[in-house]
Amino acid sequence: MAPPLLTLQNIHLTFGGTPLLEGAELAIYERDRLCLVGRNGSGKSTLLKIAAGSVEPDMGERFVKPGVTWRYLEQEPDLGGFKTVEDYATADLGPQGDPHQARTILNALGLSGAEDPSTLSGGEIRRAALAKALAPDPEILFLDEPTNHLDLPAIEWLEATLGASRAALVMISHDRRFLENLSTRTVWLDRGETRTIDRGFKDFEAWRDAFFEQEERDRHKLDRKIVREQHWVVHGVSGRRKRNMKRLGDLAKLRSDRQKLAERSARAQDKVALSASGAQASGKIVLEAEGLSKSYGDRALVRDLSLTVHRGDRIGIVGPNGTGKTTLLKLLIGELSPDSGRVRVGAKLELISLDQKREQLPPTTTLKDALTEDRGDMVMVGGKQRHVMSYMKDFLFQPEQAGTPIERLSGGERGRLMLARAFAKPSNVMVLDEPTNDLDLETLDLLQELIADYEGTVLLVSHDRDFLDRVVTTVLASDGHGLWREYVGGYSDLLRKQRLDNVPAAPKPSGKDVKPKGETAPKTRTKLSFKDKHALETLPQKMEQAQSQIAQLKSTLADPDLFRKDPTAFNKTAGDLSALEAELADMEEEWLRLELLREELESI
């Protein structure tokens, strides 16, 4: 293997007396596809900044191969001091840089370059920063949350562009699908240390869970050994003083090791305790929209939409930025009046909402005051009082953060704060506008579980494809011109249906067409062919067998010692798993195609 382009060794960094990085390591190779994962606050962005050379560690070594170029996409780009977006995007091209490349990327992302940076939205700022990072064609790209505020077309464009890039990629992202599609290697930053798996993010979570299980088994073994040694101290022979003193010293070391392991386990397993405060059930019909339309000038965002939302529905609203997703959401919940049509709201609705702008609380508001609404030390949660310090812990805030102004919280912490404020209120309708922005993967998992267990109705705007697939039952998608179409299922189901819809139909002959003599008109197909019918009958069994084999392979990979003992076997098993999962996805798509065809033919 060629030597790495960049290495970090034994990196240590302490903030405010608390160690953040304790011996972290990183190696980046040519055309690497590396994702850096870990909980919010674990130091991922800091480690990325150290790799990019913008932060100095307290201790450790950073080595960059001579001549290697890199660019860093920060999480919150600053466009201040630039007159136009093009000025910003071309500012650091260097002597060999091509301004035309920056303009090409800006245009591909929907920007002309002439925009005033002070007027840009969050998504436009992210597009400008991507153009600045990509234009010089560097050998290493450091990307901190590159999909934040991007819509689905932009995310898919970015995936294709990065996939074709010659650059080594080091990515931090909460977007599971993005990481699964691009990464081939994973670095896990956990409690100040890094661990590397030579597989992409798709295999990471099973490996991480197996690691935690092994750590828990080690803790139990250590507990039992301490019990045995304590029994000896109390009941053992008092002679042979030197030997006895050594055993006492060993016991003291065991206790010390146990304390460290317990502290590490506690740090690893802190989780956000998300729970939504329930209210009385709403009526069976939550809302009905009839002939809903809304335009701004000549631009129609919603045209003649009719929709019925039933109790318990989970509806995802998707579309490119600017197509009116938030507008539609506000029309449905009555925050905005339509130009025509009407919305009838059901009975007994109690609604909570999470705005994508995170409510824009005054930046000097403290964490405690934001939760208590500046009313002492108690917060109302589901109609009951709780001490604010206790409620803060549910969302992974420490007591010493109570007086921290919102402006000093990270993006992820602000996201958790707004979830805490929203979920304290009783509700039976949950309205979430881009709730996944800045949340770490563990918090996303818990938010998904909360929505799955929620007994009310959910209206959701999101660009996170994996999140949509996991939580929604119906998708409303925009055509970009004000028409909205309803699809049953998640985002992947929407894509399958759109692919089926886009299969070109056979051209219909016009009345003027003259058939050659002896030629008969083709028969209209009224039933499945024998081959299709056989496939429709046998595919379910094949899919079940594939699912069983996938479960066996995942069980094998769950062994935390497999990679250490036999890397070849680990890589082969992981490769077989990826291939089988892809085969299963193809079978599922083929079954869906045939099932839809069967239903269509039966309706003729």
Are residues 200 and 59 part of one domain? yes
501, part of any domain: no
Q: Are residues 381 and 322 in the same domain?
A: yes
Q: Indicate the helix (H) or strand (E) that contains 125.
A: helix 122-134
End-of-domain residue from the set 189, 206, 223: 206
pLDDT of residue 68: 94
CATH of the domain at 132: 3.40.50.300
* 521: in domain: no
Tell me: do 150 and 253 sit in the same domain: no
Mark whether 447 and 546 lie in a shared domain: no
At residue 49, the pLDDT reads 95
Within the chain, which residues score under 50 in pLDDT?
237-243, 505-523
**Is residue 192 within 8 Å of residue 20, measured between CB atoms?**
yes
> CB-side exposure of 86: number of CA atoms within 13 Å?
12
Residues 318 and 339 in one domain: yes
As a dihedral over the C-alpha atoms of residue 501, residue 505, residue 510, residue 511, rounded to 10 degrees, the angle is -90
Same domain for 475 and 387, yes or no, is: yes
Same domain for 221 and 193, yes or no, is no
| Range of the structural domain that residue 349 is part of | 285-495
Contact 76, 129 (CB under 8 A): no
Q: 179 and 173 in contact (C-beta within 8 Å)?
A: yes
Closest to 461 in 3D by CA, of 427, 495, 428, 484: 484
Q: Which tokens hold the place of 270?
A: 């802190």
* 276 falls within a domain: no
Instruction: Give the tokens for residue 236.
Output: 């053992």
Length of the chain, please? 604
- How many other C-beta atoms lie within 10 A of the C-beta of residue 247? 14
CB 46 within 8 A of CB 20: yes
Same domain, 103 and 13: yes
Last residue of a domain, one of 162, 182, 206: 206
Q: Tell me, yes or no, whether 490 and 445 share the same domain.
A: yes
pTM of the model: 0.70
pLDDT at 554: 80
Are residue 360 and residue 420 in the same domain, yes or no? yes
Q: Which of 495, 510, 541 is a domain's end point?
A: 495
pLDDT (0 to 100) of residue 121: 82
Separation between Cα atoms, residue 110 and residue 353, nearest integer Å = 30
Residue 21: inside a domain: yes
CATH code of residue 545: 1.10.287.380
For 130, half-sphere exposure in the C-beta direction (CA atoms, 13 angstrom radius) is 27
Residue in 195, 207, 217 with CA at minimum distance from that of residue 557: 207
DSSP 369-393: HHHHTSSTTEEEETTEEEEHHHHHH
- Let me know whether 247 and 331 are in one domain: no
Closest CA to 71 of 127, 142, 21: 142
Report how far Cα 168 is from the mean position of its chain's Cα atoms: 21
Total domains in the fold of the chain: 4
